[in-house]
Structure 1
Amino acid sequence: MASGAAASRAFSNLLVSALFAAVVVAGFQFEVGEERGWREPTGKEPETYNEWAAKNRFRIGDTVYFKYQKDSVLVVSSDDYLACNTSNPISKFEDGSTVFQFDRSGLFYFISGEPGHCRSGQRLIIRVMHPSEVEAPELAPSPASGGGSGGDGGLPNDNSTAKPSGVSYFVTALAGVFVVLALFMQEP
């Protein structure tokens, strides 16, 4: 019986470790351009693509979703980004519904493949944080300093434009299965 209990504990520990690793890898999906999507700017937009990106924190495992029509998304080098050069993309997507996942930290450069769109502002730089980057906590303002109801309460950016990706839903469901299995495997 003792060996069965030890095996059960070892299995439970393995499940918990796997669950922790899966949760760390799961990311969020950001919708580029939100409601308007990925399209050539008209000049009447409330913010540029880069202003939108600066408001968010991107991590390894996160994805960006590009929704577009009669256009494309090019992943390019920094030089090609600056020159709006569409002739040498690292990757090219033309399906109208592109999901790009960040597999490393650093800068990622995106431009439209349509002539003139990049120069009109249809380009985007995303900085993916390194896992070792630690964000200093911000203190919430005291009620006396106007931090009462309303506003953001002094909280740091919480990826409010991010949506859980399909991977996140899968990992959550998988975690539930692991918990149920671990409970059934325990001996009385």
Structure 2
Amino acid sequence: MASPSVTKLFNYGILLSTVLIITLVAVSVSSFQFQVGGDRGWINPAVNETAEDYNKWAEKNRFHVGDVLYFEYQNDSVLVVNYTDYRDCIVSNPISKFEDGNTVLRIDRYGFFYFISGQPGHCDAGQKLVIRVMVQSAEVQTPASSPKENGDSGDDGWDSFNWGPPSMNSTIKLSVASYFLTILGGVLVIFYVFM
């Protein structure tokens, strides 16, 4: 028969494993992958006259820090640009350029992101996208007026992006599901301690 200390150690091992699993599930629940443009992908709208406008597609979705954008395309490119280059379809000075046909970008901050095609004429034909990543904290205030209302050029002030996993000092907030799973983990801890 096992001694009480070995049984207690075993229970703590189970508890630690449970908390680890709950944490991993919470992180995976809090982000989504979006295929830009849905099933049709990132294509020149002039090729498909019935294609939905990319910004109408974006309006149907809610983007959050940690979400992933997936651009699928052939013989094209994805340029990450500032507001002015987005508005005027300027391809000469992108913040980032991708040409691999399967571009995956992890959103690492809230705010606006601007994308255009790097192929001549595609942006002017409508192959451009702006997404707004939702603020996930009540601490951050939204602007009182839009750039057009206050006479601003509309440039969002960010001129570089860090596409990839968020840094260790990231201010990513957990989703409601993550909070629920954390509370569930706490209940399990209390249950194991008092058993």
Q: Is the 8 A contact 2:45 2:51 kept in 1?
A: no
Once residues 86 and 13 of structure 1 are traced to their aligned partners in structure 2, the CA distance between those partners, rounded to angstroms, is 51
- Residue 10 of structure 1 and its aligned partner are, at CA, apart by 7.8
The TM-score normalised by the length of structure 1 is: 0.62
Q: Which residue of 2 aligns with 1:5?
A: 8
Letter in 1 for 2:111: G
Q: Which residue of 1 aligns with 2:69?
A: 64
Distance 1:24-1:123 versus aligned 2 partners, 3 A rule: same
Deviations 1:80-127 (A, max 9, x none): 111111111111100111111111111111000011111110000011
Q: Which residue of 2 aligns with 1:31?
A: 35
Q: Which residue of 1 aligns with 2:166?
A: none
Q: Which residue of 2 aligns with 1:45?
A: 50
Secondary structure of 2:71's aligned partner: strand
Distance 1:71-1:17 versus aligned 2 partners, 3 A rule: same
Distance 1:60-1:21 versus aligned 2 partners, 3 A rule: farther
Deviations 1:58-83 (A, max 9, x none): 11111111111110001111111111
Aligned length: 139
Is there any run of 5+ residues in structure 2 with no aligned partner, and where? 139-184
Secondary structure of 1:74's aligned partner: strand
Once residues 4 and 62 of structure 1 are traced to their aligned partners in structure 2, the CA distance between those partners, rounded to angstroms, is 42
Secondary structure of 1:107's aligned partner: strand
Match of 1:103 among 94, 108, 117: 108
Aligned-pair identity in percent equals 50
Q: Which runs of 4+ in 1 moved over 6 A?
A: none
Q: Is the 8 A contact 2:113 2:131 kept in 1?
A: yes
Is there any run of 5+ residues in structure 1 with no aligned partner, and where? 134-178
Secondary structure of 1:124's aligned partner: strand
Q: Is the 8 A contact 2:66 2:106 kept in 1?
A: yes
Once residues 106 and 22 of structure 1 are traced to their aligned partners in structure 2, the CA distance between those partners, rounded to angstroms, is 26
Letter in 1 for 2:38: E
The 5 Å alignment of 1:105-184 reads 105-132=110-137
Letter in 2 for 1:85: I
Letter in 2 for 1:28: F
Q: Is the 8 A contact 2:62 2:134 kept in 1?
A: yes
The TM-score normalised by the length of structure 2 is: 0.60
CA RMSD of aligned residues (A): 3.2
Q: Which residue of 1 aligns with 2:22?
A: 19
Q: Is the 8 A contact 2:74 2:101 kept in 1?
A: yes
